[in-house]
Every structure is written in structure tokens, then in C-alpha cells.
Copies of this chain bind each other. A is one copy, B any other.
């Protein structure tokens, strides 16, 4: 049986996540803070120490969720994921009850679907990803591990997103394109063609990148 959920990361994304967890009626143990944070209560939830408490807390809790935000790089979330798995934590899969998710969607462990998201049929989402508030993921999309699909972004049908990629708030990806692993798409952009891996995009992509 699952213990209350251990949250790893106490910044802005944690606060937004708390709202989703409370909506979904999920019991929360407390929060592991980042290295520069004071050990304070956040929204009423107790601090449970820093990252180096993660191994010891496994004796008490078996279920965790990474609540560090991911802006541009997935490095910290990937490191925490490895640390949690090494210590035999299960990672929660969380879906806001205020979202519209096709029953034919596969969502990996440690991934959270925030409020007002719509995910259509035959979508696959990997582990430890964030599908953020109000984003739209159309039929047939494939989203990798450690991705962040930011708020209000729009993925048309059959878009594929490589591991570790970031899609900025309010950006639109055209039907069928591929965003390479660890690519970073800025906010409010039109992406009409494939993006190579590790590429950072700061303006609209209207023709193929070579």
C-alpha cells in the first residue's frame, strides 16, 4: 500500500502541483527542499530536509514525485529521478481531475498532468514529464521522458517530442513534426518544421532547419 506522497522540490512548480494533488485527493507527506531554500512549511506542508535525506526517508515513505520546475534544462529533474529510483522509490503518476484525458493515453511514472490539459487518443507520454496547465496534446502524439510541455502550448496531431525537450508557454507545434531530445523551444513560437536535438529555438521556425 502506498504511503503519503513525498514531494521533491519546493519552488513555484511545487506550489502549482500542490493544487493538483489536493484536487485529486492525494495524501502528501511533506517536501524535500532545494539546496538554497530555507526549511519552511509550504502551503501548510512540512519540510522534510534536503536531497541527502532521500535515502533515509525511504524507510518511512515509498512514493515520491519530483516537484522541481523545469525551465529549459531537465538536468536537475533527471538527477533527482535517478536518485529516487536508486533508493527504490515508486514515482507517482498524477492526473488533475480538472483535465480531459483520453482513456487511450499512456502516462509514465513520475509524470504529472496539470489542470485544464486536454490529451486526445493514442498519446504516449514517458516518465518524469510535466504536461502543464491548459496545454493541448492531440491524437497520436509521442512525448518522451523528462519533458516539459509548458502552459497553454499546443501540440497538433502526431507530434513527437524527444526526451528532455522543453516546449515554451503558448507555443504551437504543427502536425506531425519532431522535436529532438533536449531541444528548447521558447515561449509563444510557431514551430512548423522538425527541430534537431539539443537545439535552442528563440524565433519562429517556418522552414526546415539544416
Contact = CB atoms under 8 A, between A and B. Distances in A.
Interface of A: 12-13, 15-16, 18-19, 43, 71, 98, 100, 102, 104, 115-116, 118, 120-122, 133-134, 136, 138-140, 150-152, 154, 156-158, 169-172, 174-175, 186-190, 192, 202, 204, 206
Contacts of A18: 121
- Count the copies: 3
A15 B115 contact: no
Given A151-B156, A156-B151, A187 B170 contact: no
Closest 4 CB pairs of A and B: A188-B190, A170-B172, A152-B154, A172-B188
A140 B43 CA distance: 12
B187 A187 contact: no
B152 A172 contact: yes
A177 B156 CA distance: 25
Nearest to A134: B136
Contact of A133 (B13, B98, B104, B120): B120
24 contacts: A12-B139, A12-B140, A15-B121, A15-B139, A16-B138, A19-B102, A43-B104, A98-B100, A98-B118, A100-B116, A116-B118, A133-B136, A136-B151, A150-B156, A151-B154, A152-B154, A154-B170, A169-B175, A174-B187, A186-B192, A187-B190, A187-B192, A188-B204, A189-B190
A186 B152 CA distance: 18
Contacts of A12: 139-140, 157-158, 175
Q: Which of A121, A174, A202 has the most CB of B within 10 A?
A: A121
Q: Which of A71, A189, A190, A202 has the most CB of B within 10 A?
A: A190
A154 to B, nearest CB: 4
